[in-house]
Amino acid sequence: MKKSLMLSAPAKINIGLWVKHKRQDGYHELASIMQTISLSDTITLKEVSEPGIQIFCNNPDVPLDSTNLVHRAATLFLEKFSIEPYLAINIDKKIPVAAGLAGGSTDAAAVFTGLARMYDKAITVNDLMNMALTHGSDIPFVLHGGLALAEGRGENLKFFEPPRPPLSVVVAVPVGVKVSTRWAYENYVPGNNSAKGEAFAQILEAYRRRDLDNLRRYVFNDLESVTLHRHPEVEKIKQLLDSTGEGVVLMSGSGPSVFGLFVDRKAAMRAVKNLHGQKVDVFIEHIKRKNQ
């Protein structure tokens, strides 16, 4: 009987993103607080009779060839364990593409963990993280999920318990706007890092305490200076979502997604009303603990 497995692949948001400097290896030295949320894709792995790796997806913007992170993750895993590829992977896409929510990375992470389960391979999460790092800086984090302080280029992770009860999250994505992560980092101009370091040190504590007033005071995303300049519609969405004054609103990653953190769903819904009439996809979610 051919094996099959279905997995959830949750999105992430960056609750603060500090781009420190460019490294000699071409990557940027970062500090970011990453949090997985309930918005997720569904990945189905299935053994098939035809040789090779076949990718299927309900979103036409997702490539179905070897450029897809899912394909690359499956290839790496199967080669590592000398497993002949007879595999079909279906991606039921809910996470917007190229939106700063780690949609491609979380799908690849689900493939790594799913194949380990499907083929009953003894491999630790740390081993998976080391394997995954070669395919994307966000993949080690989304393999584990929950809340983490990520440093280096995203591979140095320290995990924490997320705030309880979970905060409500509004994710607003402007329709038709896509941002290349590479473009955003290439166009970023570093600012005053000493002042940012002092502010960044306060973000994690305020977030874990659910202290939205202090979090609003300190939180920042360095890449907003790039993306908001190129895409003023993202700035407008951010202002509208923030206009109730009840939440903490920030761009996630390189954007164009904007998220708002609120103490409960009622406050989130009040903020969403201000987006009426905008060309924007809106998701009302909640923060998640460690992946199950």
Q: Which of 107, 138, 222, 242 is the catalytic position?
A: 138
Q: How is the chain split into domains, by residue range?
A: 4-160, 168-286
Per-block average pLDDT, block size 10, for the chain (292 residues)?
A: 91 93 79 95 96 96 93 92 95 94 92 93 76 73 91 87 93 92 88 78 93 95 94 95 96 94 96 94 91 57
* From 12, 196, 238, 288, the catalytic residue: 12
Considering the domain 168-286 in this protein, what is its CATH number? 3.30.70.890
Which pLDDT value is given to residue 36?
96
Return the pLDDT at 172. 97
Closest C-alpha to 246, from 226, 223, 269: 269
Strand 147-152, strand 156-160: pairing: antiparallel
Separation of alpha carbons 177 and 160, rounded Å: 33
Residue 135 has a pLDDT of 67
Q: Give the pair of three-digit tokens for residue 217.
A: 């005071």
**What CATH code is assigned to 4-160?**
3.30.230.10
Query: What pTM value is reported for the model?
Result: 0.91
**Active-site residue flag, 290:** no
Cβ pair 275, 118 in contact under 8 A: no
What was the pLDDT predicted at 154? 78
- Catalytic residue check, 138: yes
